[in-house]
Amino acid sequence: MGALSIRKVRKSYAGVEILKGIDIDIEQGEFLILVGPSGCGKSTLLSMIAGLDEITSGDVFIADRRVNDLSPKDRDIAMVFQSYALYPSMTVRENISFGLEIRKMPKAERDAAVDRVAQILQIEHLLDRRPSQLSGGQRQRVAMGRAIARNPALFLFDEPLSNLDAKLRVEMRTEIKLLHKRLGTTIVYVTHDQIEAMTLGDKIAVMKAGEVQQFGTPSDIYRNPANLFVAGFMGSPSMNFIKAKVCESGSGLGLEMESGGERFAFPAVNGEGLAAWKGREVIVGIRPEQITEVVDSHGDDPRVVRQSLPIVLSEPTGPDTLLLVHINGAKVTCRVCPDFAGVPGEKMALMFDLSKVVYFDPSTEQRIK
Ligand SMILES: Nc1ncnc2c1ncn2[C@@H]1O[C@H](COP(=O)(O)OP(=O)(O)O)[C@@H](O)[C@H]1O
Ligand SMILES: [Mg+2]
């Protein structure tokens, strides 16, 4: 067993099952992300790990120790929440020191711990201020300092950046990642933001309605989604989903496509699982970055196809331009270089890199492999 094991954990409130059997294992030093839409049970699962609320059934182990019956203070954890709840009448130094004091750490050791975290978080110049004299980002940093000072076996973060504005959120995200590299402590981090999940996690558990839909590394989850929900949730802009009929095409299988009245077929790349689907519709998943302007670098890779399509809408984001086209009635987003973006109402030659295309069963929404 490793740093944290969650075994068959269930939680019900008044007969309503909120967590429906969660199994997760991570190793010492790993950064685990719990991600999913609001209400899927992320905070509930974190409370089970923290011991803030009782588990209905199942077990939680922290550093190989079963903690079901231990109170939060005996679990060797530290938490940082969205609302950082600093004590307004205490200075930053006192805020960080307080948790150590109630654990009866001698003053000299406490002072040394505060100085150590202040240096790590670069808040040495703020130690004598009160929370009201700090910016949102500085307060968040103090809240983290309070957690780090304890030197716990496990950090628990619940959406710690969601109260910050967009720019600061990105900065703090980088800082948390650096901090994790530096401290090497195991972290469980809850977020509804899939970009935070991708950038921070060593492992990600994608949750929906009290269940883990997929557990894996960020690249595994991005490239190899288990089902339609995970595929659509991870990635921004979202993966495109096109319903298409599986047909014979050349020497193999293809997928029937139509746009602006023109019919064409894509080769069924990665379509080993599609043989049983001939004549029936599947959902084709292709990410926006795999539909671009035509570039020459692909040579004659048969997995890369070209198709001219009418552009419906153009959305410049700065680094890229997102073009909207319609295929089989679905809205499809393409990600092109702004210098080569086509004009709405006109056709543009697009390149489809199908090497990472995935397929889903329309009724079960599971991957067809
Ligand atoms: N103390 C509680 N009593 C009853 N229902 C609760 C309680 N806490 C959470 N829930 C319900 O559990 C579900 C999951 O909540 P939560 O874990 O906070 O979701 P998330 O953090 O993913 O947004 C929600 O439907 C919520 O209403
Ligand atoms: Mg929550």
pLDDT along the chain (369 residues), means of 10: 92 97 97 97 97 96 96 92 84 94 92 92 94 90 89 93 86 91 95 96 98 98 98 97 94 95 96 96 98 87 95 96 98 96 94 97 97
**pLDDT tens digits, residue range 351-360?**
999 999 999 9
**Could you tell me the distance, in angstroms and rounded to a whole number, from the CA of residue 211 to the centre of ligand 1?**
13
**Could you tell me the distance, in angstroms and rounded to a whole number, from the CA of residue 16 to the centre of ligand 1?**
10
Is residue 41 in contact with ligand 1, taking CB distance under 6 Å? yes
**Could you tell me the distance, in angstroms and rounded to a whole number, from the CA of residue 42 to the centre of ligand 2?**
6
Ligand nearest to the CA of 162: 2
Q: State the pLDDT at residue 329.
A: 97
DSSP string, 49-112: HHTSS--SEEEEEETTEE-TTS-GGGS-EEEEESS----TTS-HHHHHHHHHHHTT--HHHHHH
Integer Cα distance of 197 and 191 in angstroms:
7
Q: State the pLDDT at residue 244.
A: 98
**7 and 58 Cβ atoms separated by less than 8 Å:** yes
Closest CA relative to residue 337, chosen from 356, 354, 327, 350: 350
Closest CA relative to residue 308, chosen from 242, 272, 257: 257
Structural domains of the chain, with CATH? 4-233 (3.40.50.300), 240-368 (no CATH)
Q: State the pLDDT at residue 96.
A: 94
**290 and 238 Cβ atoms separated by less than 8 Å:** no
Q: State the pLDDT at residue 165.
A: 85
**51 and 44 Cβ atoms separated by less than 8 Å:** no
Minimal-distance CA residue to ligand 1 atom 3 = 13
Is residue 42 in contact with ligand 1, taking CB distance under 6 Å? yes
DSSP string, 189-255: EEES-HHHHHHH-SEEEEEETTEEEEEE-HHHHHHS-SBHHHHHHSSSSPPEEEEEEEEEETTEEEE
Integer Cα distance of 297 and 245 in angstroms:
30
Q: Which residue has the tokens 């795999």?
A: 290
Q: State the pLDDT at residue 162.
A: 86
**Could you tell me the distance, in angstroms and rounded to a whole number, from the CA of residue 39 to the centre of ligand 1?**
6
Q: State the pLDDT at residue 1.
A: 57
- Which residues on neighbouring strands pair with residue 359, listed in sequence order? 284, 368
**pLDDT tens digits, residue range 26-52?**
999 999 999 999 999 999 999 999 999
Residue 327: partners with Cβ closer than 8 Å, 6 or more residues away = 242, 257, 258, 259, 309
